[in-house]
Structure 1
C-alpha cells in the first residue's frame, strides 16, 4: 500500500475484469509503473477482495457476470470509511450516458478502452498525487483528533444555532454521556437553567460572558450532567469562521475540586485567623499581667536609661529597678534562656522577691541569694536566668555589682570611655543552689557624671544578613561618641541600622545608670542624723 505522499510510491491496485487478456495487460502496465496488483473477476469477487486487502485504488470494468461494475462501484463507495480509495472505470462503453452513469455510481474517473500506456501512466500519476494529498489531510485530522482526545479539558464545537457538532471524550465523560452522545444536542442543555434561556444566536455571548468574537474569556456557570447533577463549570469560548460560517469552540472544565479546595482553604484561613485572634488576645492579656508586676514608676527615675527590644512579642530580657527606704538604687538586667513567652515566664518569679527585699533594704548579696533560690526551685532543668545586679548608694558615689551569665558590667568615665570592667564571674541564677560564696559582690567607687552600663548578649551578637555581628567594639565606640542622656537612643538606632530589616535572633536590652545621688538623698540624710 501507499505509505507517503510521493506520486512515484508503490500503490496496491485492485483490477476488476472478467477478461484474462485485459487483466494481463493491466498487470503489465502497473508493473511497469512499479505498482502491485490484486485481481478480481467480477463485482462480487471485487467486494470480497476489497474488504480483505484494502487496496489503494480500484480499476473497474463495467460488463461482468454476477455483478456489473456499476453496482460494484456503488457498493464499494458505500463501504469505504474515512480512507478514500479512488475508483477508475475502464470500459469499452464510450457513450456519454455510460460515462455519466459510471461517475454517478461513485467512480472518480472514466477511461475508455483501449487505453494507451502514456494516458494510463498520466492518470495513475494524477491519482497518486490526489491520494497523497488526501492522506496528508487525513493524517493531520487524525493527529488533531488524537490531541483533542488526549486533552483533559472538555472540548466541544457548535454552530450559531447552538448545535454541538463534535465533542471530545473528556467532554462526554464530564457530562456523563457515551462518546458521541453530546453530538446534536443544543449546547445550552449542558448548562443548568438560570432563569430564561438565552436565544441560541446569542449563545457564545452568554457562555463567554462577553461579546461574540472575544477570545480567551472565561466564564463560570453551572453545568448539568445527563443525570441532572449540577456542578460548577468553567467555560471559555472562541469564535472561528469556516467557509464564511461562524463556528464556536468551547473549552469546558469541571472545577468542582477547585471550588471544594477553595472552600476548604477559606475555612482553614478562617480557623487560622480565629486561632491567631485568640492567641493575640491571650498574649495581650499575659503581657498586661506581666507588665503589671513591674514597678514602672521606679523606672522613671531620671538616672535610669534603658531599652528592651524583643525578638518576638514577649521578651526574655527584663529590666527592673527600685529604691530602698535608705535611698539606695537597685537595678537588674536579666536574660532568661531562649526568647518569647517561655523566656518571659522564666523571669517572672524574680519580681516579687526583688521588690520585697529592696523594700526591706536588704544587702545586694542577700538579694542575689534569694533570687537564685527561687529560680532554682521554680525553673526546670536546663532553664536559667543570666543577670547583672547593681546597687548604687544614696549619695551616688559607690556601687555594688554582681554579674552571672550576661556580658560584663562596665563603668563609663566622664569622657565616655570604659574606665573599669566587671566580668561575669558567677554562674547564672537558678543553675545551682548557690552557696554564700556565689553571692559575693564587687564594690567600686564612682564619680558624678560616670555611668554603669549593663547589656544582654543579644546586643553584641545581633547579626545582619551579611553575617556581621554588632560586637563589643562597636558598642563602646557608640557610647564614647554620644552624651550620657543620648546613648540609649543612639544604641536603638544603631542596632536597627545594623540589622537593616533582618530579624533579630535574640532579645536585645541595655541598662545605663547615672552615678548621681537620688533627688531627695540630702533630705533623707538630714532626717537620719
Structure 2
C-alpha cells in the first residue's frame, strides 16, 4: 500500500520569529515546511518546491506579499489550486479587499490563537482536497473523451475512400469536431464525397456523425444515387437530432465515365471547381436549407451538374474558414480563401497553402469554429474493367437473340415499375442486393452494377422520358439535359420499365442474363452503330458512351424491338 503523500507548506515572512511560529503550527498539522524572508525568494521557493499551501505576509522588502501572491497564483493555475493565506496585522477593509484581489484564498489577522489558525488551515485544506478530486475527475473525463474522440475518428476514417488522393484540412475548435468528412466509392466507380458542419462544435455537435457516416457509406456501396442518399440523410437527421441541431453539408459525386460532377450544397459556403491554373470554372452556392431542418427535401431542389476535366479540382469548405478572425475582429473572408486556393493549386498543395494563410491571418487569436476543407482531384476513381479490350465480343447491335441455353436458370428475379414509381424507386440497388444475397459478395459484381446502371439510365432517360442524349454534347445543353430530366421525372405518370435477371451457374464461374424492356419509342440501332464506326473522338463524346461501356464489360449486348428491348450476357470465371 502506497504511503500517503507528505504535505508541503511555504511560509513567506520577513520576520524569522513569525516564520518559526507558523512553521511549528503547520508541522503539528502534518506539513513539511519551507520558509522565505521576502516575496522574491518566496516565488523562487514556490517554483522549486511546489507546495500544497502558502502563508504570505503582506509588508516585506524587495517584493511585497501582494505582488508575490499574484506571481504564485499565475504559476499555480497551470498545475493546482495551491491555497494562499495572507497573514497580516492590517485589520482593515482595504486589506481584505487587496488580499482577495491579489489572489488570496483567505486572511488571518494577528493576533490569533493556535486553535483558530489550525481551524483555518483545515478549512482551506478541505477546499484544496475537493479541488484535487475535481481535477482528478476532470483528468479521467479528459482521457475518456480523448479515447472516445479517437474511436469515433477511427470509425469514420476507416470507411473513407481515396484518402491518399483526397486532400483534407481538419482543425477542430474543440476536442470533438462538429465537422465531418466522408468519401465512398460507388460500385460503378463514381466517387461520393461529403463535407458536413453540425451546429456549433464539441461533443454535442458530433452526436449525429456515426449514423450519418453509416448511411452515407452503406448506401453508396449499395449503388444508391447521390439524390437518394441525400434524401435519406435528411430524413434520418430530422428524426434523430434535436430541433436546434442540424447539418450544413455539401455533397459531390464525381463520374469519370461521364466526366461530370454532381453537386448539392445545403447550407455551406460555396463549393468551387478550379481548373489547373486556379481559375474558378464554377462556384456553386447553397441552394437548400441544412440537413435535418425539414422533414423532407424541398420539392424544387435541384443538384448542379457540371462538366469536369481530369485536371480540375473540386474544393469544399466549412464556414470556419470564411469566418476565422484576426486580432482586429476582421474575417478571413472568401477573397482571401480564393487567392490562397489559387496559389495552392499552382503549387500543387491547396491544403497547406490555405492553412498557412489562415494561421498567418489569425495569428494568436483563439479558434472560434471548426476549420475544414476537402480537396478532390477530378482524375481519380477511373474504372478498370474486368474484361481485356482485346477479348472478342459479340456484335453489340445484333438483331436476333442468341440460341436459348439448355441449362435451367438457378434463379430469376423480375421487377416492373410503372408511372410515378419510376421517379420514386431505383431498382438497381434492389437488383444488386438480390444478386449478393443469393451469390455472396464478389469483385466482379461491380461490373454488373455498371451494366445495370447504364441499361437502366438509357431505358429511363431515352426510352420512357424521351430525352435526347445529343443535348449533353454542349455545355449549355448538358445543364439543360439534367434540368429537363428532373422536371420530367417529377411529372411522370405513365410508361413502364421491366427488369429480368437470370442466373446460370457454370463449372468455373457463372453467367448472368440481364433483360431490360421499356415503353419508349426506341432508337435507330443502325444509326448509332454508324456513329460508333465513323466517330474519331468517341471518347470525348458523352452521348452514346453508355452503350459502348456495356459492350466493353459484357460477353454480348443484343437489341430488339427497335431498341426498346436489351439483353446482356455477362460471364465470369473463378
TM-score by length of 2: 0.48
Decide whether the 8 Å contact of 2:263 with 2:304 is kept in 1.
yes
The match for 2:365 among 502, 514, 518 is 502
Gaps of 5+ in 1: 1-155, 159-170, 172-186, 196-206, 220-231, 239-250
Describe the superposition over 1:89-126 as per-residue Cα deviations: whole angstroms up to 9, x where unpaired. xxxxxxxxxxxxxxxxxxxxxxxxxxxxxxxxxxxxxx
What is the rounded CA distance, in whole Å, between the counterparts of 2:168 and 2:135 in structure 1?
Answer: 35
Matched, 1:477 2:345: no
What's 1:422 paired with? 284
What is the rounded CA distance, in whole Å, between the counterparts of 2:57 and 2:332 in structure 1?
Answer: 59
Describe the superposition over 1:35-61 as per-residue Cα deviations: whole angstroms up to 9, x where unpaired. xxxxxxxxxxxxxxxxxxxxxxxxxxx
The match for 1:518 among 374, 381, 388 is 381
Deviation at 1:519, TM superposition (A): 5.3
Pick closer, same or farther for the CA change 1:329–1:528 going to 2, 3 Å. Answer: farther
The match for 1:366 among 205, 223, 228 is 228
- Output the aligned Cα RMSD: 4.0
Matched, 1:298 2:155: no
Higher relative contact order (CA 8 A, sep 6+): 2
What's 1:333 paired with? 195
The match for 1:379 among 227, 241, 257 is 241
Matched, 1:344 2:206: yes
What is the rounded CA distance, in whole Å, between the counterparts of 1:290 and 1:416 in structure 2?
Answer: 35
What's 2:186 paired with? 324
Deviation at 1:269, TM superposition (A): 3.0
Gaps of 5+ in 2: 1-14, 43-53, 61-109, 387-446, 448-548, 556-574
Give the paired residue count.
Answer: 309
Decide whether the 8 Å contact of 1:303 with 1:516 is kept in 2.
no
Pick closer, same or farther for the CA change 1:287–1:233 going to 2, 3 Å. Answer: closer
What is the correspondence of 1:72-471 to structure 2 with a 5 Å cutoff?
255-256=117-118, 259-296=121-158, 298-395=160-257, 397-435=259-297, 437=299, 440-471=302-333
The match for 1:489 among 346, 352, 377 is 352
Decide whether the 8 Å contact of 1:290 with 1:348 is kept in 2.
yes
Decide whether the 8 Å contact of 1:233 with 1:252 is kept in 2.
no
Q: Residue 294 of structure 1 aligns to a residue in which SS?
A: helix
What's 2:438 paired with? none
What is the rounded CA distance, in whole Å, between the counterparts of 1:318 and 1:311 in structure 2?
Answer: 13
Decide whether the 8 Å contact of 1:369 with 1:439 is kept in 2.
no
What is the rounded CA distance, in whole Å, between the counterparts of 1:381 and 1:502 in structure 2?
Answer: 31
Pick closer, same or farther for the CA change 1:273–1:325 going to 2, 3 Å. Answer: same
What is the rounded CA distance, in whole Å, between the counterparts of 2:146 and 2:228 in structure 1?
Answer: 34
What is the rounded CA distance, in whole Å, between the counterparts of 1:480 and 1:217 in structure 2?
Answer: 55
What is the rounded CA distance, in whole Å, between the counterparts of 1:481 and 1:497 in structure 2?
Answer: 15
Q: Residue 158 of structure 2 aligns to a residue in which SS?
A: coil
Deviation at 1:382, TM superposition (A): 1.6
Decide whether the 8 Å contact of 2:278 with 2:341 is kept in 1.
yes
Decide whether the 8 Å contact of 2:146 with 2:175 is kept in 1.
no
What's 1:42 paired with? none
Pick closer, same or farther for the CA change 1:513–1:262 going to 2, 3 Å. Answer: same
Deviates more, 1:364-373 or 1:396-405: 396-405
Decide whether the 8 Å contact of 2:177 with 2:370 is kept in 1.
yes
What is the rounded CA distance, in whole Å, between the counterparts of 2:40 and 2:121 in structure 1?
Answer: 19
Describe the superposition over 1:185-244 as per-residue Cα deviations: whole angstroms up to 9, x where unpaired. xx99x978999xxxxxxxxxxx9989xxx999999xxxxxxxxxxxx99999x9xxxxxx
Decide whether the 8 Å contact of 1:333 with 1:389 is kept in 2.
yes
Q: Residue 275 of structure 1 aligns to a residue in which SS?
A: helix
Pick closer, same or farther for the CA change 1:396–1:266 going to 2, 3 Å. Answer: farther
**Based on CA coordinates, which of the two structures has the bigger radius of gyration?**
1
TM-score by length of 1: 0.52
What is the rounded CA distance, in whole Å, between the counterparts of 1:507 and 1:325 in structure 2?
Answer: 32
What is the rounded CA distance, in whole Å, between the counterparts of 1:520 and 1:386 in structure 2?
Answer: 31
